[in-house]
A and B are shown apart, each in its own frame.
Chain A
Amino acid sequence: MHLKAEQLSLSHGEWTLSADGVFGQGVHLVTGPVGSGKTTLASALAGIFEPASGRITHEGISRLSLSMQFPEYHVTGFLVKDEIRSWHLPVTETLQKTGLTGRQDRKTLTLSRGELKRLHLTCLLGSPWDAVILDEPFAGLDCMEKRRVCTAIEEKTHPITIIFTHEQAVLPAADVIWEIEGNALVCRGRVPEAIPAWKGAPQYLTRALEEGARPENIRLQDATEALCRMHA
């Protein structure tokens, strides 16, 4: 099972982005500065943005979903309970997971951006997809919610998870790191070998590397544990 980008070229006017690589099973983290083309690439991989050239193949993937930056776009249920049902999920359990217990009769689009994002991500990650593509899943969430989303991702209920983010504080454990650099998608490799080559790594990782620690993954706790091991 994999998602493959073959000599892909994406363009918006004069701007172009090239991508070539295979997203196999596991958690993939794609990072890059704002405006580097993360959303465009995520849309192309999901099949909703037409590439200028090259092709994308979905091998063994029959159910794929994309979480867009703005959760409003995904809303089809007038009330919160209708929205949860539209994802074919149990209302009470999902409300509990989202922290919205008792708000099933609230109008979905009157929830705050953070609440709506929580509801959307809980529903999306609670559904049985072969591959999920998450575009800036941590935007608009507080640290606690970011950690909750990371835990859900780390449970690996979906064979392939691709996360597009510029988040620098709270990240989930990842298997492969990709970076958008100079208008091209670059694979830094598998974690942990890829960590020293990761140019856009969060500060806590670069500091740990500078100290001589070798974190096993990319989370803050991995950097802390590596430093503790070193000084033990």
Chain B
Amino acid sequence: MQDARLRIGATLLLSCAAFSSVFGAVLAALWWVVVARNERNLPGRYAAAVIFGAIILVAGFTEAFGGDGISYGFRMTVITLIAFWAFGRGREGDLMNTAVWAFGDRIGFDLGLTAEMAISSLRRIEKDIRDIRNALKLKGSRGPVYDLIPLGFTLTIMQIHRAREQGLVLATRGYQGGGTFSPSFQRSKTDCFAFFSSILIIAAVFVSFVGYL
């Protein structure tokens, strides 16, 4: 999906559908299989083990203590898969374009700028983690558990430094709030189909709820 508005919209709708019921999660998973087949952007083995391991752990505890852990685990897995797709498919400027299109030059610009800065930080963190792990390996890593402390600490401090520098740059350039920005979007042939199918999914979930009530 090239159109950021439709992609963000579809992500929100599918996440709501997947979170609300197992039926919604199954439909969202089918959507993910069909629409995101060439751009799933799954994480590496290590990151996948940590993320899905955490979901399985919480699901296991919930199930063990009388909750519906399996349902939770399945729904969260689908939401996570859709999040990977949405994050990987995103391009620089998507959130700025969408926020300004939706909320205008004042609030939209501020929201878009904040979101873009957050996303660019996330992308930099990916590289930082890779580089820090390599540096620790070269220095003589004591294992992934020991490495977590310096890794987490270094990442946090680096992010604080960068946030301060970005703040200073914005202040130096006279930023006080809002700005001028002309949003632009590109759309592929399949974008509308993918978005409207996500509307159908949330509608089906809503109908199934009404039927249940």
Contacts and interface: CB of A to CB of B under 8 A. Distances in A.
Interface of A: 43, 46, 48, 64-66, 68, 70, 72-78, 86-87, 109-110
B157 A72 contact: yes
Contact of A75 (B128, B138, B154): B154
B154 A48 contact: no
3 A-B pairs with the lowest CB-CB distances in the bound complex, closest first: A73-B135, A109-B157, A48-B134
A65 B138 contact: yes
Interface residues of B, number: 14
B136 interface: yes
B147 to A, nearest CB: 8
A210 to B, nearest CB: 41
A76 B136 contact: yes
B51 interface: no
Nearest to A77: B150
A74 B137 contact: no
A123 to B, nearest CB: 9
B139 A70 contact: no
B157 A74 contact: no
B153 A73 contact: no
A78 B158 contact: no
A66 B158 CA distance: 20
Nearest to A123: B139
30 contacts: A46-B138, A48-B137, A48-B138, A64-B138, A66-B134, A68-B131, A68-B134, A68-B135, A70-B131, A72-B157, A72-B158, A73-B132, A73-B134, A73-B135, A73-B154, A74-B135, A74-B136, A74-B139, A75-B150, A75-B154, A76-B136, A76-B139, A76-B150, A78-B153, A86-B139, A87-B139, A109-B154, A109-B157, A109-B158, A110-B157
